[in-house]
Chain A
Amino acid sequence: MLDLIWLLPTFPLLGFLILALTEGKLARGPAGWIGAGSVGLSFAVAALAAVSFLQSGIESHTVPIWTWMSVAGFNPGVNLYLDGLSLVMILVITGVGFLIHVYSTGYMADDPDFSRFFCYMNLFVFAMLLLVLGDNLLLLYLGWEGVGLCSYLLIGFWYDDPYNGYAARKAFVVTRVGDTAMAIGLFLLFAQLGTLNIQDMLHAAEAEWAVGSTLPAITALLLLGGAVGKSAQLPLQTWLPDAMAGPTPISALIHAATMVTAGVYLIARTHTLFELAPDIQSLVAWVGLITLLMAGFTAMTQNDIKRILAYSTVSQIGYMFLGLGVGAWSGAIFHLMTHAFFKALLFLGAGAVILSLHHEQDIFRMGAKRKQLPVGFLCFLIGGLALTAFPYTSGYFSKDEILIAALEVEGQGLWLWLGGVIGAFFTGIYTFRLFFVVFFGESRGHHDATEVKGLNIAVPLFILMALSLFGGWIPVPLDAVFSHGAEHEEHHISAFMHGVMIALPLIGIGISYLFYGSGALSVEKLMSLPASRALHRFWNSGWGMDRLYDLLFVNPFLFLARVNAKDIVDAFYDMLAAISRAGHLLIVRTQTGYLRWYALSMAAGLVALIAVGVLL
């Protein structure tokens, strides 16, 4: 069975090819079946592979397909590598992916480009599967760029609106900055260790490099560059909120559940390298911590339902980075999985809300929608509780693991833990701000909206609700992957600390209730405090990062491009041409056609020659 995992990426690839080659002429019915069915088949293969992998008890299994290229000792193959880590990833990708595909057949039912949508979606799943199954960094990079391409195509799916195109290009170019760092990392790794095969490379690194030396630090830093780009972490997080311009199922699949967590996967996959570079590993933790706090602040000030969720995603991936940084490798992957459940649920729920309210995304034009949109209400209740780590929901277990591990870090542990707990407090506030504003209070618009119907929308939502509630009990087979990590140690944490961890998100929910549920506290009053308006604007703009980057990079580039559109080098050749033309005109003057001129100049020349001859 395990040798058949090549079928995993093959089904979505076939789906993509069929949908692409039929040029959108396929009817919705078959197009939807092919689009969703191919991912469903992949999920079936993944499930079977999981069963036989866990039964066999092996640590990893490699399926070589062909040698991609072989030049002077550089021979990356198209080989699939299955271990506990990639197993978790393929189950999330095909499982959650399948649910989102099914949901999309309902959500996109009226779109004229239905077939093109599933074409891109299938290509995405194909690339994402290669990313997590590749046994070498070049194949991983292929998947990595492939998912970036699909992300670009799907953000800009509704291409009529130039803003969507802008958001799509921004997503691609910003992540490409990270990708380029990662590519340089690959050059360095190959130059130093002579292979890009991940396992061989990690063994070689362990054998050749000392802990804390320069080379692992540089390579880990370059890989981190790729990871922060893809996973929308500081300083490359600015693209994700704009990526919400795409259809909502995309936001669920690509910008919440799978692609944006690729950075987490990359670091977990190459964790040995980060263990050799403790400074960079703790940088990972701090990047995660700062990102999660910044995004938390911003999420509290957004009014667009999808942008709130987008900042929340940035923040939750921050937790995963924090987990990676403190060595809670499987905790981070665990949170990746539970986050995929509840954030997909929230986004799909948001999609149902948006669709029911005729593409309304401003939460302050909703209100009191719990009766009109009962399924959406349930989605946000359950998803919101899991997101705020309400005890015994899925998010609770995974966030707990990360924060406890953070506390155990020597030196900085308390700070990392404290930051993480404060972030959880914010999570409670922004999640339930959204919840109360949309579903409680008074109706502020769309009074007569009715909820979208259809099993293909409802069933995936209910399955995701179940996963969000109970997903924390799913065992993840990661012990063999991260065997030398801190996983097996008993976690010691005082009851008080644990109490704080549980209580703070709940307090956050309470504060949200006081502001937006009961109305006991007034937002207007808060906003009338000195400086709060400016602060609100600052956070709302995502800490002014977009403006900063425009100022530092975009505008100078545009300026240089504009002033030099004609290519200054050309001016040099034009000048050469002008000079020779001027010389030509000058000499033409002597061609007067008067015989006496010619006689005179000949005589003068003769005299001059004789004079030279005599004088010398």
Chain B
Amino acid sequence: MILTLLIALLFVGGLLAWFSERINPAWPRWVALAVLTLELLLMLSLLGAAPEDGWLAAYNHAWLPRFGIALHFAADGFALLLLLLTAFLGIVAVGSAWSEINYRSGFFYFNLLWTLAGVVGVFTALDLFLFFFFWEVMLIPMYFIIAIWGHENKFHAAKKFFIFTQVSGLIMLVSIVVLAWFHYLQFGFFSFAYQDLLNVGMNRNMEMWVMLGFFIGFATKLPSVPFHNWLPDAHSQAPSAGSIILAGVLLKTGAYGLVRFAVPLFPTAAAEFAPVAMTLAAVSILYCAKVAFAQADFKRLIAYTSVSHMGFVTLGVYAWNELALQGAVMTMLAHGLSSAALFMLAGALQHRIHTRNMLEMGGFWGRAPRMSAVALFFSIAALGMPGLGNFVGEFLALLGAFQANQVLTIVSAFGLIFASVYSLWVIQKVFHGKYSDKAFDGSHLLDLDNREMAYYGAMMAGLVWMGVYPQSFLDLSAPALQSLLEGQAGNVAIGALRP
């Protein structure tokens, strides 16, 4: 019940935010903040829940019984972690938009909350039709956020985002329908229920094709090379709040989909496909790190590093053992915080000096020491400094992946070197070096204020927590991941390869 409440609250809250603008344009942000805080509290209340059939909360109600479609929501520890991340980053996004978004603020917060409603739906839907419904719900409000409140090239970016995700989503829809059709052929009735579809048997070729449909849908969202090109444009053009949600949350829906659906539904095909997926992961890690280094646009650079870091998630997922999966989950959480914080910083800089071009920046440390120290912290988190969450995630992912595929793991590990190259380059370009404000009005380069510091401080605390005592998170996701792995027991274990 609580899960439907979570979703309904976001939908209703979004409408409320929209209409409250008519009374007072400052109200929508308060509505959004209140709704998201309530969301976070509701989700936290699930932490103590006793699991039932492995689910901490579930809701199941028939919707279109003729086709076996139900309103089936359920959350295990893995989903709950991502839900918490979603609500937390939602609050951060509101904070980032607080003073940045003044134009049609009601409609903005409506879109923000509806996107998040889609995300919450995706993380909890256990009916594939329902899942696809929410997959689309995420997309359209985000399109508006980019297209209306974006920067200089926003229409191009919004269209590109829409076409990439829509086309890949449709490919996935075909796969879902085919899968349901095979279920009908095999069992004589339609069902879109996850648990039913897990039992569908297909011949080898068919399984591969259907699996690929899912993979393309998720790999585009994740994103993985070669489906990543929507992301740099969308990120650099979106307002900071949009970038935060995109990088912090939306990308994770792709990763979640891989773990929940793309591998468990098609164990044999996934096992066969694993070397390809892991190769794509390694290419993503190295190639996008290299491209990131060459960017002069601050947000574009972070966007490419996101693709690079998400490569570790793909690598971990297709290694398909507990170490690697836990690594993938930790990377999702930690990258959610670190990339959101970096996008927020880039947005804060752009808000102050009206440029994202790093070649026009330099020596900001003397002017804005707080901002510089915060940027340093998150850059260092991103390059995988032990003691912070990203390290735990990437190390576990690599440690697990090494047991599945040594060569690709070693290749991917070189991403650690590249990450240090681009992360330190950002610090050098923006915060170190000689200060010059020829290209912008230096009087607006103010340091972070206390309200902003509160957001960054919360994210820093989160990363330190994940880095120093990751067990709080690992324990929550462990039962969920173990049961996903056990579902595979009878099949070819991907990660069984040992020297």
A interface vs B, CB < 8 Å?
20, 23-24, 66-72, 74, 138, 141-142, 145-146, 149, 152, 156, 159-160, 162, 165, 168-169, 172-173, 176-177, 179-180, 183-184, 186-188, 190-192, 557, 560-562, 564-565, 567, 569-570, 572-573
Interfacial chain B residues near A69, Cβ < 8 Å? 392, 396, 470-471, 474
Beta-carbon contact of A184 and B471 below 8 Å: no
18 of the cross-chain contacts (CB-CB < 8 Å) are A20-B373, A68-B470, A71-B474, A72-B323, A138-B386, A138-B395, A141-B386, A160-B433, A162-B428, A162-B434, A168-B424, A177-B417, A179-B416, A191-B403, A560-B290, A567-B229, A567-B291, A569-B229
Beta-carbon contact of B295 and A169 below 8 Å: no
Interfacial chain B residues near A162, Cβ < 8 Å? 428, 432-434
Q: A162-B428, A191-B498, A561-B290 are in contact. Are A23 and B420 (CB under 8 A)?
A: no
Beta-carbon contact of A564 and B425 below 8 Å: no
Beta-carbon contact of B322 and A187 below 8 Å: no
Q: What distance in Å separates the Cβ of A259 from its nearest Cβ neighbour in chain B?
A: 15
Please name the residue on chain B nearest to A159 by beta carbon.
B432
Beta-carbon contact of B499 and A191 below 8 Å: yes
Interfacial chain B residues near A192, Cβ < 8 Å? 499
Q: What distance in Å separates the Cβ of A575 from its nearest Cβ neighbour in chain B?
A: 12
Beta-carbon contact of B294 and A562 below 8 Å: yes
Interfacial chain B residues near A188, Cβ < 8 Å? 402
Q: What distance in Å separates the Cβ of B384 from its nearest Cβ neighbour in chain A?
A: 8
Complex-state Cα separation, A162 to B409, whole angstroms: 35
Is B399 an interface residue, CB under 8 A from the partner? yes
Give the contact stretch, choosing among B14-22, B71-79, B245-253, B363-371.
B363-371
Interfacial chain B residues near A560, Cβ < 8 Å? 290
Is B34 an interface residue, CB under 8 A from the partner? no
From 382 to 423 in chain B, residues with beta carbon under 8 angstroms from any chain A beta carbon are 385-387, 391-392, 395-396, 398-399, 402-403, 409-410, 413-414, 416-417, 420-421
Complex-state Cα separation, A146 to B469, whole angstroms: 17
Is B293 an interface residue, CB under 8 A from the partner? yes
Beta-carbon contact of A71 and B428 below 8 Å: no
Beta-carbon contact of B471 and A573 below 8 Å: no
Beta-carbon contact of B294 and A564 below 8 Å: yes
* B293, B304, B399, B499 pick with most chain A CB within 10 angstroms: B399
Is B268 an interface residue, CB under 8 A from the partner? no
Please name the residue on chain A nearest to B435 by beta carbon.
A160
Beta-carbon contact of B398 and A187 below 8 Å: yes
Complex-state Cα separation, A573 to B433, whole angstroms: 38
Q: What distance in Å separates the Cβ of B479 from its nearest Cβ neighbour in chain A?
A: 13
Beta-carbon contact of B323 and A74 below 8 Å: yes
Complex-state Cα separation, A282 to B397, whole angstroms: 34
Q: What distance in Å separates the Cβ of A189 from its nearest Cβ neighbour in chain B?
A: 10
B interface vs A, CB < 8 Å?
160, 225-226, 228-229, 232, 290-291, 293-295, 304, 321-323, 326, 363, 365, 369-370, 373, 380, 385-387, 391-392, 395-396, 398-399, 402-403, 409-410, 413-414, 416-417, 420-421, 424-425, 428, 431-434, 468-471, 474, 478, 498-499
Complex-state Cα separation, A569 to B291, whole angstroms: 11
Q: Which of A71, A191, A557 contacts B290 (CB 8 A)?
A: A557
Beta-carbon contact of B291 and A23 below 8 Å: no
Beta-carbon contact of B433 and A165 below 8 Å: yes
Please name the residue on chain B nearest to A564 by beta carbon.
B291
Starting from the known contacts A66-B469, A142-B386, A569-B225, 13 additional A-B residue pairs (CB-CB under 8 Å) come to: A71-B322, A74-B396, A159-B433, A162-B428, A162-B432, A169-B428, A173-B417, A177-B417, A180-B416, A191-B403, A562-B294, A567-B232, A569-B226
Interfacial chain A residues near B499, Cβ < 8 Å? 191-192
Beta-carbon contact of B402 and A187 below 8 Å: yes
Please name the residue on chain A nearest to B321 by beta carbon.
A72
Interfacial chain B residues near A572, Cβ < 8 Å? 226
Please name the residue on chain B nearest to A145 by beta carbon.
B386
Interfacial chain A residues near B425, Cβ < 8 Å? 169
Beta-carbon contact of A142 and B399 below 8 Å: no
Complex-state Cα separation, A562 to B290, whole angstroms: 10
Q: What distance in Å separates the Cβ of B155 from its nearest Cβ neighbour in chain A?
A: 14
Beta-carbon contact of A173 and B424 below 8 Å: yes
Beta-carbon contact of B398 and A183 below 8 Å: yes
Q: A23-B369, A72-B321 are in contact. Are A564 and B290 (CB under 8 A)?
A: yes
Beta-carbon contact of A146 and B387 below 8 Å: yes
Complex-state Cα separation, A310 to B410, whole angstroms: 33
Complex-state Cα separation, A171 to B370, whole angstroms: 25
Q: Which of B291, B370, B395 contacts A183 (CB 8 A)?
A: B395
Interfacial chain A residues near B498, Cβ < 8 Å? 191
Please name the residue on chain B nearest to A196 by beta carbon.
B399
* A141, A146, A169, A179 pick with most chain B CB within 10 angstroms: A169
Complex-state Cα separation, A482 to B327, whole angstroms: 36
Beta-carbon contact of B420 and A173 below 8 Å: yes
Complex-state Cα separation, A138 to B396, whole angstroms: 11
Interfacial chain A residues near B160, Cβ < 8 Å? 573
Please name the residue on chain A nearest to B477 by beta carbon.
A71
Complex-state Cα separation, A24 to B366, whole angstroms: 12
Complex-state Cα separation, A168 to B402, whole angstroms: 31
Interfacial chain A residues near B396, Cβ < 8 Å? 69, 71, 74
